[in-house]
Structure 1
């Protein structure tokens, strides 16, 4: 798309200078923001904490989502935002107070612009060892509690680490059993042929005890595999499964077409298509895409696309895991 170059740049700068003279410090921020000077956006962003509301909170939420954290963009700094801000601060080696001040804003800016801030969960290739579980690993039977959405504590943290370190994407490792942990558990259950309820009971704990990284079925290089029988989407890089995601593909009436394709179009927003509302879709064949959704059950439920969670799709975009030209095998 051709970029439009604004005319009369000098007039805009002169306007900024006039505002600086007339308005003092407040005008300085306004003038800098108008001109897009470095640091202008950061200077204008307020300190945020639990209970804050407004457009600045939306900006914060969008940055967290870009980094793979599971938050909504409702402009409300609630418990979930607080939890994820603290998780980011821990990973960024900041003071963990849940308050978004200048240092946290700066770290978020660096991370979302391709800087060196850490990811919301460790990459499988991270050479640094994972922290040990806060409590000794329980016996394989009986003593492991049933975990489900809403569960918290060291057992959840251990489960999340096991899943993440073996390629099952969980989002943040925060000791809280939320939607993304449930999705990762469901992905594990599908991989090991268990009941697909997203709850970690005895059978799932047994699978966790023998967990290994999923293997690529077709690619020795880079590609995306959509396993229709297991309902699992695997991102393969260098012949190794980087991440496995829970997915829901087409029903028997609206099946996902089998075959080998290539990503040819990406839409970085909600796309309203004949197959429904698709969050940040990556199209691989005609109108069929990998896209985010709020509903990814344990069974085929889509109109033919491959659904993943909205947060997973945000992560796929942030890490460029589904670029244009990437091969997609549906089988």
Structure 2
């Protein structure tokens, strides 16, 4: 690594959250241009996939009439294909079509009142959802709007943004960086001291207060990590706690949500989506699924005895031996 290189720290806002990038760059490098380039990559994700923006590509698709086909721009297409694949592989535990359900339970861009919805209204909305209603035509890179299908890619788009930024930095001569969007991370290359980027695995709130397990540290050498769980968004109504993570199979928030599920992958997009899918499955089913499919996953669950940690062998292989 050049002695004229330093670690620069950049940051900003996107997708209702923050982004940051630590990157190894020559001291002479124009950081303003790098910041602008990163922001432009993330702004493109928002322009194509944000349900909070009325004129985004996804919002236009969601409003479209039944039976219409819509050309999908490249980034949106890449995420749709991955979302459809993970929905199929997870047997619907991950579902990009549950936007109306998310809103009905009081979360997301079009959130209703935060309370348990009326059963008849819930059944009506649930009939319009279903990942298998999403039809994609690879030849024309287009998607069919069957009527009333409302896509929501919030459980995968932040991860895709991380991947976009990492690729853009590489194309622009940055040989080492740690990129983060809303907690999803990707690291590649080595720092000036020759060491990889090391990060703590995100914890459950109880772990913050009094660690029952040693800190889990990952060395991100061209790896991504994402964590899902119930510490981020939830509310209480009539003494019941409702998680923002919905189970598409029951049309209701996940009950007894796993405190934290962390997934490692080479793509932050896939780590992001799989962390959601495994959270929906729950610790027992999710761990069995992750083991069967060789996913690198860590589960932290609550029990009467306190927190319980479980990791797949694939996850254990990535733990930084120097810090464990």
- TM class by smaller structure: under 0.3
TM-score by length of 1: 0.27
